[in-house]
Amino acid sequence: MSAPLPDAALDQLFRNARTRNGWKTDPLPETLIRAVYDLARMGPTSANSSPARFVFCTSEEAREKLAALASATNGAKIRQAPCTVIIGYDLDFADHLPRLFPHDQTASSWFPKGSDVEQTTAFRNGTLQGAYLMMAARSLGLDCGPMSGFSNAKVDEAFFAGTKVKSNFICSIGYGTDEKLFERGPRLAFEEACTIA
């Protein structure tokens, strides 16, 4: 049986966590980047398909390459943050299913190459894994700054040429500052967003 997390943990993960637009510029150690992935990869995906592919852009060169393909405001954030992750999804994810879903060796046949189910499964689960990555980062004390204001086609060409990996969204991670922080936006009330059927 798991116990509810203490309030301090819930504050860190949800209530006080903000989308950051300003960043401390100290480099992120690779051990921390690996620790984020080690947690994120444990989140559930259909048939354990794990379609997300992550490019952690930490070098000056990679951050500049990515920043140039983003909107001007997002580009400035990418240049400042020590790391911006490209969250992609691999349409060839099913090739790994014999290893990732050993209970059923026919699982890769559920996702025919080029089919809608392959696209939907990759995008759905890759998006979920992007969210797991953000919560993993927050759980390790990091801040996140997710962004979709960039050219997916150009990022695919620059980072995923010759593969079946497509970019979904990008997310800066590091230690955020209050620079350019928006007022916290309201959220929908339970009654507006939920029903109990």
Ligand X SMILES: Cc1cc2nc3c(=O)[nH]c(=O)nc-3n(C[C@H](O)[C@H](O)[C@H](O)COP(=O)(O)O)c2cc1C
Site string for ligand X, 66-85 (x = CB under 6 A): --------x-----------
- Measure the CA–CA gap between 99 and 162, rounded to whole angstroms: 23
- Measure the CA–CA gap between 9 and 139, rounded to whole angstroms: 8
Interaction between residue 113 and ligand X (CB under 6 A): no
Interaction between residue 146 and ligand X (CB under 6 A): yes
* Nearest residue (CB) to ligand X, 22 versus 41: 22
Interaction between residue 4 and ligand X (CB under 6 A): no
Burial 134-170, CB ≥16 within 10 A → b, else e: bbbbbbeebbbbbbeebebeebbebbbeeebbbbbbb
Closest approach, Cβ 3 to ligand X, in A, equals 26
Distance of CA 122 to the CA centre of its chain: 13
Interface residues for ligand X in 166-185 (CB under 6 A)? 169, 184-185
Closest approach, Cβ 34 to ligand X, in A, equals 23
- Measure the CA–CA gap between 177 and 42, rounded to whole angstroms: 29
> Which amino acid type is present at position 156?
D
- Measure the CA–CA gap between 172 and 182, rounded to whole angstroms: 16
Closest approach, Cβ 179 to ligand X, in A, equals 13
Closest approach, Cβ 126 to ligand X, in A, equals 12
- Measure the CA–CA gap between 119 and 185, rounded to whole angstroms: 32
* Nearest residue (CB) to ligand X, 69 versus 147: 147
Q: Which of 9, 11, 14, 18 binds ligand X (CB under 6 A)?
A: 18
Q: Which of 12, 19, 119, 139 binds ligand X (CB under 6 A)?
A: 19
Task: Give the residues lining the site for ligand X (CB under 6 A).
Answer: 18-19, 74, 146-149, 169, 184-185
